[in-house]
Amino acid sequence: MAEFDVDLFVIGGGSGGVRAARIAANYGAKVMVAEEYRMGGTCVIRGCVPKKLFVIGSHVHQEIEDAVGFGWSIGQVSFDWATLVANKDKEIARLEGAYTSNVEKSGARIVKTRAVLEDAHTVRLATGEKVTAKYILIATGGAPNHGPAVPGIEHVISSNEAFHLKQLPKRIVIQGGGYIALEFAGIFAGFGSDVTVVYRGDNILRGFDEDVCKHVRSEMEKRGITIITGCTVAKVDKHGKDYTTHLSNGSSIASDQVMFAIGRHPNVRGLGLEAAGVAINPANGGIQVDGWSKTSVDNIYAVGDVTHRTNLTPVAIREGHAFADTVFGKRPVQVDHATIPTAVFSQPEVGTVGLTEEEARAQYSHVDIYKTDFRPIKATMSGRDTRVLMKLVVDGASDRVLGCHIVGDAAAEITQAVAIAVKMKATKADFDATVALHPTASEELVTMRTPTARHVRQAAE
């Protein structure tokens, strides 16, 4: 008789857990996956996929406006929010089915229920069934964080509810200055809503390159989005179907929807972590793991947003795959969390990889900056007041490109390709030796010859 019911029990059917389950099963492991909600996790069900679909839809109005300069005369147009939501729901259901099917095809078994740890090798299901496992992987992701409770917090929605609103808000207040807040600001503005963004920091996109933050803010404000910084929401009052949002600076804003997007917290509550001896990282509130994604308990691992390391879907997938390779493939693989490309699907779009100028200047004695902002070719005919930003951060001593930052159309697509070069430690000379692809915006990355700034850190005496 087998010592354990399964070789691997995965708690969470999101991107990281699904990848780990499939790869482990392919190695011959007996695998069970527990998911209490819907297969696919945050990204597929209520995150990056539906968000990107909404972003694409919200671009159409601008495309119609820009078409006039190219000779198109487009008559009366209308937008139906309910159709968008319904079609999005169909696509998410299709993807959920694909995720479920792919797991089952690998030979792993899915149980649609909550799972809680009883000890290091035992999981109790909400059905009352107990399952013993040689290894356990926690991949429960994260959830929206509403921060300190303010009066009227019950009236506030998160990004989760934003995907299922019955109607498009005419006016919306969004608190937050990161990925989710700015992406939804662009989405709602693109569909015609009056949008106000409220953020506690000095500027939006904390942690991004300062030039990126300034450029994105300027471009968003050109598009009619109001951005209020150095301020927080103090109270939300409801009057019938409308709301009054009171700010910490004493002002107030009327709207018919209020959304908070001020961060996410790891889903660690109620999992039985204490019973199993799994430690929480006091620095970030996520499950504490080592470089192999192993927790404080030898046979229990954790991947993805629940560890609160780098909260990006492709990172969770890479971590889940590496875990399965290491534990079941007997092929030790560690995930390199350095030089991870990322995008903000704001409007305009942001793509970035590597170090910001501020980070580079803190780590390297000689830093060269190559930067340009220009009117894209489309705007010369459309007449739209918009500019593209491109920036390279270079180690002045070795000539290695340390970072690339792009704001403008297709920034994410360009950055994915540039990330390969940055990961390979390409030099500025390598970029310069690459023939430009004309006419494109991205050719600027290989035609910037003269530094716009050079920084030399004086050695301490």
Closest CA relative to residue 371, chosen from 359, 354, 357, 385:
357
Q: Are 246 and 153 in contact (CB under 8 A)?
A: no
Q: Are 215 and 143 in contact (CB under 8 A)?
A: no
Closest CA relative to residue 201, chosen from 178, 222, 184:
178
Cα separation, 353 vs 349, whole angstroms: 14
Q: Are 187 and 163 in contact (CB under 8 A)?
A: no
Cα separation, 202 vs 218, whole angstroms: 14
User: Is 146 in the active site?
Assistant: no
Cα separation, 320 vs 11, whole angstroms: 12
- How many residues appear in the chain? 461
List 121, 265, 438, 455, catalytic entry: 438
For 126, residues 6+ apart whose C-beta sits below 8 A from its C-beta are 36, 113, 114, 115
Q: Are 141 and 306 in contact (CB under 8 A)?
A: yes
Cα separation, 270 vs 138, whole angstroms: 13
Cα 447 to chain center, whole Å? Answer: 30
Catalytic residues: 438
